[in-house]
Chain A
C-alpha cells in the first residue's frame, strides 16, 4: 500500500546537471526524479519511509540560459584536513580562490514550474509507531504551511524552489501540450547499493512524464 502526494514546485532558474557534461554544467530539459525526490525529502523524510516519484508534470515551456561564474576547481582534501587535525593548526588548510579559479558556464533552465506526484513506502527501518498515515499527514501539513527541514532547491542550492501543496482533491494545473523524447535520463543514485547511477528513458507526453517504479525493469542499472 502506498500513499501519494502532489507538490507544485517552481523557480526562476534550475539546473539538473547532466552527469555526462559535468565541467560546464548542462541541465536536463526537465527535473529528474532524483531532484524531485530531494525536494520532497527537504520537506519531510524519515528513515522509516522511502519516497518514490511517479509522475512529473511540466507546466512551463522548456527554455535555457547560460550563466558563467568564477568557481574553484578543488574540493577539501581529506588527507590535508587529517594532517591539520593532527598538527593542531589550520595553517595551509584554506583553498586559495585565485589559484584554483575556473570560469565555468552553466546552461540552466529558466522559469520552471512542475507538479511532482510522489508516493512513499515504508522501509525495513520503520518502527512500531511509524504508521503511514502519520508520515502522510506530516508531509501534507508541512507542505501546506510552507515548512521544510531545509530549503528545497531546483538542482543546485542557488536556485531555490518555491513549493505549494496540491491538495488531494484539487484539480491539477494544465501541463504544456508538448510531446518530447527526453532520452536517457538520470533516475536516481542507488544509495542503498553501490551508489551507482540509475537511468531511465524519459518520454514527455503532453507535458507529463511517467516515472517508472524503482523496482521495474525500465530502470536501467
Chain B
C-alpha cells in the first residue's frame, strides 16, 4: 500500500525529476517512455543495417552523421509512377504528397515503421506507421538509489585552485562529487501493436517485421553506457493474428502474459529469476499464433 503524494486530484504530479529514473508517483512503478524505446530501435537499426538501402533512419543522432557515406537512390520507383497516373482525380498537391510519402517510407525504416510528420510548405500530412509502442511500466514498484561518486580531477584550473585553497587538513584533494541514480532491479513490461492495415500503406514488410523482432531482442545489447548498467530484453512474446484486422482484443492477449513474484512478497526483487513469467495458452481464439 502507498499514499498518493498529491491530495488534490487536479494538481499534476510529476513523472520526472532531474535525471532520476521515471516513476509513476502514485504507484511508485518505474516508467520508460515510448520515445526512449523507439530511440533504441532506431539506434539498433543504424548499427545493424548501416547504410543498407531502405534502412536509413530519419530521426538520427548526430554522432552517426560522420560515418555516413551516402549513396544515390533512384528517387521514384516505377510503381510510384503508376500510382501517380492512377490517381488523376486528385489535385496535384495530394498526388505529390503521396509521392513524397512513398519516397520517405521507401528509404527510411523509422518512417515506414513509426511514421513521421511531414509538413511545412505543402502539407503532406502524416505518415502513420504500423508500429505503436506504449510506455513500459515496471512489474513492481521500484526504489531508485542515489549513489555519490567522485572524480579525481577538477573541471578546470580555476576550480582546482579554489579547491586547493579551501582544502583543510582533512581533505586536501581536488575531487569533484557527482551523483548517479540507479534502479537496483526493475522488470519492465512494454506493450506494442503492429497494425497490418497501416503496414500496407507504408510498405512495412514481413522482412521489416522480422527485423523489428530482432531489434527488440537486441536493442539493449548495443546501448551500454555508464548510466544504464545492464539492461536486457528478457522475453518477447508475439501474438500473431491470422486476420489483418485482428482476431482478439489486445488487452485479452496481454492479460495472458502473467508476471508473478517467485521470491517472497517482502523481499526485494533483484534478478529476473525472482520473477516467473507465464503465458496462458488456454482457450486461445482460433487463428492465433504465439511466438516467444
Binding site for B on A (CB under 8 A): 12-13, 61-72, 75-79, 81-82, 84-99, 105, 107, 110, 142, 145-151, 153, 157-160, 162-164
- Minimum Cβ distance to chain A for residue B151 (Å): 24
- Minimum Cβ distance to chain A for residue B87 (Å): 15
Instruction: Check if A158 sits within 8 Å of B33, measured CB to CB.
Output: yes
Interface residues of B in 117-138 (CB under 8 A from A): 117-124, 128, 130, 132-135, 137
Q: B195 — nearest CB in chain A belongs to which residue?
A: A150
Note all chain B residues with C-beta closer than 8 A to A105. Answer: 16
Note all chain B residues with C-beta closer than 8 A to A91. Answer: 68, 70
Instruction: Check if A90 sits within 8 Å of B249, measured CB to CB.
Output: no
Mark interface residues in B1-32 (1 if CB within 8 Å of A CB, else 0): 00000000111111110000010111000000
Interface residue B154 (Cβ < 8 Å from any Cβ of A): no
Given contacts A65-B14, A110-B26, contact A97 B100 (CB under 8 A): no
Interface residue B155 (Cβ < 8 Å from any Cβ of A): no
Given contacts A66-B13, A150-B195, contact A81 B100 (CB under 8 A): yes
Instruction: Check if A150 sits within 8 Å of B198, measured CB to CB.
Output: yes
- Partner of B122 from the list A78, A94, A153, A157 (CB cut-off 8 Å) is A78
- Minimum Cβ distance to chain B for residue A182 (Å): 13
Instruction: Check if B73 sits within 8 Å of A145, measured CB to CB.
Output: no
Assembled-state Cα–Cα distance A194/B208 (Å): 37
Assembled-state Cα–Cα distance A99/B223 (Å): 20
Instruction: Check if A67 sits within 8 Å of B116, measured CB to CB.
Output: no
- Partner of A85 from the list B33, B103, B132, B135 (CB cut-off 8 Å) is B103
Instruction: Check if A81 sits within 8 Å of B104, measured CB to CB.
Output: yes
Given contacts A76-B117, A159-B134, contact A67 B15 (CB under 8 A): yes
Instruction: Check if A71 sits within 8 Å of B72, measured CB to CB.
Output: no
- Partner of A158 from the list B16, B24, B25, B34 (CB cut-off 8 Å) is B34
Assembled-state Cα–Cα distance A12/B116 (Å): 24
Instruction: Check if B246 sits within 8 Å of A145, measured CB to CB.
Output: yes
Interface residues of B in 27-76 (CB under 8 A from A): 33-35, 39, 56-63, 65, 68, 70-76
Interface residue B218 (Cβ < 8 Å from any Cβ of A): no
- Minimum Cβ distance to chain A for residue B266 (Å): 27
Assembled-state Cα–Cα distance A84/B35 (Å): 27
- Minimum Cβ distance to chain A for residue B53 (Å): 9
